[in-house]
């Protein structure tokens, strides 16, 4: 099989949901992309989420692909009332 250098190379750059993020970076991206009216996350809530789900965090990094949906499901049940 031949390959032409002009052919597009797929998978050379990681997708955004596969890039490790710090907690502040995760919060910015998570809150920026939330639907209107959905409650926003903060560092205190995310630390609580991390404590309650230690198996999701083999390292200290956050991934949109792994954690975003789980946080969205968890947040309404665990958000403090102001």
4-13, 34-43, 50-59: range with highest mean pLDDT = 50-59
In contact, 26 and 64? CB cutoff 8 Å: yes
Rg of the chain in Å (alpha carbons): 17
- Please report how many Cα atoms fall inside a 13 Å half-sphere around the Cα of residue 81, on the Cβ side: 1
What are the C-alpha distances in Å from 20 to residues 24, 28, 57, 82?
Answer: 12, 14, 11, 31
**Interval 61-76 mean pLDDT:** 93
Tell me the two tokens of residue 51. 């404590």
Domain boundaries, the chain: 26-78
**Interval 32-58 mean pLDDT:** 92
Tell me the two tokens of residue 16. 């955004």
């Amino acid at each position: 099989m031949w390959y032409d250098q002009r052919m597009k190379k797929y998978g050379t750059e990681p997708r955004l949901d596969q890039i490790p993020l710090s907690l502040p970076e995760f919060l910015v991206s998570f809150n920026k992309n939330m639907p209107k009216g959905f409650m926003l996350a903060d560092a205190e809530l995310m630390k609580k989420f991390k404590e309650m789900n230690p198996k999701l965090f083999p390292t200290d990094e956050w991934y949109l692909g792994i954690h975003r949906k789980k946080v969205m499901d968890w947040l309404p049940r665990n958000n403090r009332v102001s």
